[in-house]
Amino acid sequence: MSVHQVERTFQSGGNAIHVLKGIEMELLPKKLVMLKGRSGSGKTTLLNCLGGLDTPSKGEIQFDGSPFSSLNDDERTVIRRKNMGFIFQAFALMPLLSAWENVELSLRMAGVSRSEWKERVTECLELVGLEKRMHHRPFELSGGEQQRVAIAKAIAHKPILLLADEPTAELDTGMAAQIMAVFQNIIQTEEVTICMTTHDPTILEVADHVYEMVDGKFC
């Protein structure tokens, strides 16, 4: 994925608020990329643009050979469903479903053949180290375990890009380190690129590249 001179402006009470200001970046295959910055620096807005959940006011985002930011909503949705996975700091798990059922639901929504579900769900939960907890519901799991279910769910349909918004924000230092170890493992085993936002300085050292954002720009 490549980003060329991307700007994002919002209108508020007749005033233009410039959240992104000429972003230039590239996400290389099988790399862990971090967007570092304080709250309000623009990193979540940029992540939303990368995932097609928002569109730039100016500039272009290219993904897998297509002008991603120029596509319509339906076209971006198709690409997202097939090639992207999303992880949020609030975990976004279905509370009444077990870890297994949450991951299975992801495959169901992605249109993966039912014959592949059992093997793939098992594979993903083993990848994140939850083979012994796969039949537990979210309230029976720790925060770190819930985040690992969310990761398994996000990679189940074999995306090539994983976008994570503050995935360690709700976790203590030890659990955050475990999540980063999981990320490094799935980059190799799943051959996926991960782009994540963070303001946690303790995890930056494991990144392949860190972009620091201040006031909508890289510094």
The answer to whether residue 219 scores a pLDDT higher than 80 is yes
In a 3-state reduction of DSSP, which class is residue 80? helix
The answer to whether residue 12 scores a pLDDT higher than 90 is no
Q: Give the mean pLDDT of the chain.
A: 92
Distance from C-alpha of 203 to C-alpha of 207, rounded to nearest angstrom: 8
Summarised one tens digit per residue, pLDDT across range 94-151 is: 999 999 999 999 999 888 889 999 999 999 999 999 999 999 999 999 988 999 999 9
CB 22 within 8 A of CB 7: yes
- Token pair for residue 52? 């097609």
Q: What are phi and psi of 155, to 5 degrees?
A: -100, -5
Q: What is the CB-side half-sphere exposure of residue 114 using CA atoms within 13 A?
A: 0
CB 25 within 8 A of CB 211: yes
CATH number at residue 39: 3.40.50.300
Q: Provide the whole-model pTM.
A: 0.90
- Domain range enclosing 192: 2-218
CB 39 within 8 A of CB 62: no
Q: What's the distance, Cα to Cα, between the start and end of the chain in Å?
A: 20
Report pLDDT for 95: 92
% the chain with pLDDT above 70: 100
Distance from C-alpha of 86 to C-alpha of 88, rounded to nearest angstrom: 7
Mean pLDDT, residues 146-159 taken together: 93
CB 66 within 8 A of CB 58: no
Express the helix, strand and coil content of the chain in percent, nearest 5 each. 40, 25, 35
Report pLDDT for 13: 82
Return the number of other C-beta atoms located less than 10 Å from residue 173's C-beta.
Answer: 11
DSSP H or E run through 217: strand 217-218
Residue 63 DSSP one-character state: B
Sign of CA dihedral 205, 209, 219, 83: negative
Radius of gyration, alpha carbons of the chain: 17
Summarised one tens digit per residue, pLDDT across range 47-105 is: 999 999 999 999 999 998 889 988 999 999 989 888 999 998 777 899 999 999 999 99
Task: Give the count of domains, the chain.
Answer: 1
Distance from C-alpha of 36 to C-alpha of 180, rounded to nearest angstrom: 15
CB 171 within 8 A of CB 203: no
Report pLDDT for 91: 77
Mean pLDDT, residues 8-23 taken together: 91
